[in-house]
Structure 1
C-alpha cells in the first residue's frame, strides 16, 4: 500500500513539472472556425469576430495577424491581454461572390500552440440575390 501511495504522489509531482507556464490562448469558436453560412452580397458587411481568452499565467501578446489574401482583413489587439482576460480579433471579408475558404494566422507568445501560431478559418458562401419582377410571367410547364 505504501508503494502505491508513493508511486501516485511521485507521478503527480512529476506531472506538475511538465505543466506549461506562460500565456495560453483559447478561442471560443469551435475548431477555430467561423461559418458565415449562406449570405447575400450587399446585405452583410462581412465582419466577424473571433473571441479568445488568455487562460495562462502571463500576459498574452499578439504580435501579428495575417490573412491568406487581401480579400480578408484581420485586426489585432494592440495591448497585452492579462491572464484571465478576454479580447477579440475582428475579420472583415470583402464579400466577393462564391465560396469563402480563407485562413488567418495569429502569431503570439502563447505556449499552448507550437511556435505561438494559431490558424483561424472562415468559411461560407456569398450569393447574389436574384429578384424577379411581379409582372414577369412564370413558366409553369414545358409547353409555355
Structure 2
C-alpha cells in the first residue's frame, strides 16, 4: 500500500510540474483562403491569416515558408502573449501564372503544435480575358 501511495504522489508531482511549465498554442480560426477569380493584370493579391495564442506561455512564430517563390509571407517575430492575436500576411503574384493555383504556407512555432499548414487558392484570369 505504501508503494502504491508513493507512486501516486510522484505521478501527481510530475503532473503539477508539467502544468506549471505551461505551453504556447497557435490557433488559426481560418486555415484556407480562396481568392476566387483574379485578373493577372491587376497584380498581386494578399490575405491576412489571424492566429491567437491559446496557451499559457508566449508564442513565437519561428519561420513561415511558402511552397513557391510566387507566394510571399510576412509576419512579426515578436512573441504573442497568451490570449493575444498575431497575423501572417500572404501575398500571391499572378504574373505569368494563368489558371488554377493552390499554394501551401508552412508555419513553424514554439507552440504545442509545432507546424501548421495554411492554404491559399484561386484562379488567375489571363491578360486580355474577361
Interval containing the TM-score (normalised by the shorter chain): 0.7 to 0.9
- Taking the aligned partners of 1:85 and 1:75, their CA distance within structure 2 comes to 18
1:71-129 alpha-carbon deviations (Å, 9 max, x no partner): 11111212000011111001111113211111010000110x2xx01111111111136
Deviation of residue 50 (structure 1)? 0.6
Matches within 5 A, 1:30-49: 32-43=31-42, 45-49=44-48
Do the aligned partners of residues 98 and 23 (structure 1) sit closer, same or farther apart at CA in structure 2, a change above 3 Å counting?
A: same
Query: Aligned residues, how many?
Result: 113
CA-CA distance at 1:28 after TM superposition: 2.1
TM-score under structure 2 length normalisation:
0.76
Q: What TM-score, normalized to structure 1?
A: 0.69
Equivalent position of 2:110 in the other structure? 109
Displacement over 6 Å in runs of 4+: 16-20
Greater RCO, 1 or 2 (C-alpha within 8 Å, sep 6+): 2
Q: Report the structure number with the largest CA radius of gyration.
A: 1
Distance 2:92 2:129 in 1: 24
